[in-house]
Structure 1
Amino acid sequence: MKRHPAVTVAVVACVLAGVATLAADGSVVFQLLTSDNTQAEPVGGVGGLVVRAAWALVRAIGLILAARHVNRGSAAARGVVIVLAVSTVFNTVRLVGGRYDPAVGPLPHALVDGLLIASAALCAALILLVVWLAPVREHLSRPPTKRRNLLIRLVTPSPDEPTWVLTARPLAASLAACTVVPLLVGAAGLFTGDLASRYPALRVVAATAALSAQLVVVLILVLVLPYALVGLGKVPGARWVVSLLAVMVIASQPVICPMVLGVDGLVRDALPAATAALVVIYGLIFNRNARRWFRRSRTSSGSRLAA
């Protein structure tokens, strides 16, 4: 069967978004390391910059690798692309401007800002393609054939899972990563003294308490979320556990991240995590097809137990 041109566009957009993200974030890191403008230094100091750079590298490589799964029509690719693209949009938009160094001149900064804008635009277009364009949605429906380990089982759906459930599954799995990044950046800033040099003593105490709360959030997600995801459609109440964990992320991240990392934490960490959590809640609780599928799964599970 002939493939719709929109699928090819989505595959190319994945590759281009990954390459643009890699080039843009690499250029930003180089500028920050070589700049004498201390006001442009990120919250968290060099340690925080390393964490941000590593997370950007993961997103860029993830987008490039996701192109293969989009090309193959993998059902789990949709949620993976959404979380990588949404996080990249918020991170790149936040980096535009604010790094000007008079010793360098405007042209290099303009080129890097152009790369950042191109990366954000490609990721935004990719989100529209995989979420709203019907031919791409229909293409991303191939059920998994193998489940080699726990990680594969977390993000791969059952053959009859509806679209929004299979979208919510990898998005929910990404919540742990979305909360670990601000925890590591904040911890780096605390131990290197960067937070103490930026904030008054009372704010540092509040940031330390917020980091402790963030550690609790991460531990809950790491310990509970994998089992709840594996139980989706099999264990009654598993979707409510995943949804409650998503609510915890929505309630905690817009408070914790700005407390520790300021506006950087709000835009680059809290908003992507909250966006992913909102999609998870919609896909598992409010979508009509998902509700019907969970009811059928519960009925069939009850019948097997009765037999």
Structure 2
Amino acid sequence: MSHGHGVVGNGVTMTPRPVRVLTALLLATALATVVVEALTFWYAPEHGFGFAVRTVWALVRTLGWLILISQVRRARATAKPLSLILTMTTLFAVGRLIVPPSGRPPLPGVLGFGVLTLLCLTVVVLLYRHPAVDAHLVHQPRRPVLTREGISLREAPPGDPWVLTARLASFSYSPLMLVPALIAAGTLRHRPEWTLAVILWILAGIAVSYAALLSAFFLRRGSHRARIALTSITLAVLAFDLPLCHVLLGLDGLVRDGSPLVVAATLTLYALRRIARTSTRAAAPA
């Protein structure tokens, strides 16, 4: 029996029990997300355009948990940072639906959010702390490699977890910008003077996705300039998005829609700092 995978007769590999439990928890988390959103929608005092946009975004996050299940089953190293980012963004996305603009949130929604929080934290702990799960993710699938002798299968080397974290966290900038921008677009009939600002906001949200993708590509190759570029993009995104959230959506919008972006940006900057430290130690003479 290997450290991360059990072998049952005829060389058939059996998934470790903790990994199977983790998969079940991920399914339960995806289901809990949908249930809490349904309860929130049912008890919401009003269903405006902003509420609809936030609800759709929260539902889209559910697909992320299904992707995470696939990553875990395929023993991908991206499962760890993806779980961390999904946990933070899901709790923010669902939490801002539960809290109404005024008054107290409904008790069923609060209880459901508590269950969802417990499931999310359990998933993260299992992925980062359980040795069997860690061994399962360290085991990388074999990929075809062209050699002089022909095509052979070699085990792909695991990626730097902080590089993966920075890449995935930066990929979330675009949707986290577009959600408040679309909500603000729904208010333009009352203040058309902000039309140009909202259009630029939407275009910036789309452009950030390409900028982050390009920086992440070179970051994977260990480029120092890519780290600087991604840091600059992160700071520019915060400087551009947060003031617009406050001006066009008010303090409530800043908290609801700006906080998830701040968390994603903080995670990206921390990951970039860890990458820089690793690169410095690797470059230091022995």
User: What TM-score do the two structures reach when normalised by structure 1?
Assistant: 0.70
- Distance change (3 Å), C-alpha of 1:82 and 1:235: closer
Aligned 1:191-270 pairs, distance under 5 A: 193=189, 196=190, 211-212=198-199, 214-215=201-202, 217-234=204-221, 236=223, 237-270=225-258
- 2:37 maps to what in 1? 25
Unaligned runs of 5+ in 2: 5-15, 145-155
Confirm or deny: 8 A CA contact 2:245 2:258 kept in the other structure.
Answer: yes
**Alpha carbon RMSD of aligned pairs, Å?**
3.5
- Distance change (3 Å), C-alpha of 1:284 and 1:98: closer
Deviation at 1:187, TM superposition (A): 1.1
Choose between structure 1 and 2: higher helix proportion: 1
Aligned 1:31-42 pairs, distance under 5 A: 31-32=43-44, 37=45, 41=46
- Distance change (3 Å), C-alpha of 1:163 and 1:24: same
Choose between structure 1 and 2: higher strand proportion: 2
- 1:16 maps to what in 2? 28
Aligned 1:100-119 pairs, distance under 5 A: 109-119=106-116
Percent identity of equivalent pairs: 25
Moved more, 52-61 or 245-254: 245-254
Deviation at 1:261, TM superposition (A): 2.4
Moved more, 7-16 or 137-146: 137-146
Q: Distance in 2 between matches of 1:251 and 1:76?
A: 29
Matched residue type, 2:229: V
- Distance change (3 Å), C-alpha of 1:160 and 1:84: closer
Give the paired residue count.
260
- Distance change (3 Å), C-alpha of 1:2 and 1:15: farther
Among 46, 50, 53, the alignment partner of 1:51 is: 53
Does the residue aligned with 1:232 lie in a helix, a strand or coil?
Answer: helix
- Distance change (3 Å), C-alpha of 1:293 and 1:224: farther
- 1:303 maps to what in 2? none
- 2:84 maps to what in 1? 82
Matched residue type, 2:255: V
User: What TM-score do the two structures reach when normalised by structure 2?
Assistant: 0.74
Unaligned runs of 5+ in 1: 148-157, 297-307
Q: Does residue 1:73 correspond to 2:75, yes or no?
A: yes
Higher relative contact order (CA 8 A, sep 6+): 1
Deviation at 1:21, TM superposition (A): 0.7
Q: Distance in 2 between matches of 1:15 and 1:293?
A: 40
- The CA deviation string for residues 4-30 of structure 1, in whole angstroms up to 9 with x for no partner, is 655444323321111111111122223
- 2:123 maps to what in 1? 126
- The CA deviation string for residues 96-119 of structure 1, in whole angstroms up to 9 with x for no partner, is 353899xxxx9x942233222222
Deviation at 1:178, TM superposition (A): 1.5
- Distance change (3 Å), C-alpha of 1:259 and 1:15: farther
Matched residue type, 2:258: A
- 2:157 maps to what in 1? 159
